[in-house]
Amino acid sequence: MTVPALLKQDPNDLAVHGKIAPLLAAEGLRDPAMASFRAAANGHTTAGFVDRGIAVLRQAAELFPEEEELWVEVANFHVQRGRRGDEVAVLISGGERLLKSRYRPIGAKLLRRALELEPWNVKATLLLAKTLARERRREEAVVLLEGLAQRAGGLSRRKARGLAFRLAPTPGRLLRWIIGR
């Protein structure tokens, strides 16, 4: 029995949608895959299984990382469940994944959103600073890193100071990095 035949029998079968969506994505059938991911996620959340809906959307986001709205949707579901930390983690994960691709601006946008929710998150700040540096916006990156260094301590401060020095080396930055202040 083929995939369309399975869906013709019961177009609202969440299990079928959940199982065929990754297969459709692997075949390069983006639109049908997204439709199945969305059908499965919406069906699970409507039935009260929000965590299953989150898992389906997260799988879709992993397969189609350039789809910003998928990352945002997963983050919003975490907010509805009262999981602010998970929301930030999803946005950082999506941002980090996209920074390594041609979708760097979308990744930076996700990181900025994470920082709106949790200002001075160490990982998000460092990733965003590296992104800004790659986009030839070193001054903005250094300001961000120095702000983090003022608010963080220990290893996080050292990482921020070290990256700030590498991006814009000055004797003062070198000294702050070495002595850790």
Instruction: Tell me the Cα Rg of the chain.
Output: 21
Contact status, residue 65 vs residue 28, Cβ threshold 8 Å: no
| pLDDT at 27 > cutoff 80 | yes
Taking only the tens place, the pLDDT of each residue in 160-176 is 999 999 999 999 888 88
Tell me the two tokens of residue 68.
């910003």
Distances (CA, A) of 127 to 2, 60, 103, 134, 141: 44, 23, 14, 11, 10
Q: What does pTM read for this prediction?
A: 0.80
Taking only the tens place, the pLDDT of each residue in 78-123 is 888 888 888 999 999 999 988 888 888 999 999 999 999 999 999 9
Q: What is the mean pLDDT of the chain?
A: 86
Determine if residue 119 is left, alpha or beta; phi over 0 gives left, psi from -120 to 50 gives alpha, anything else beta: beta
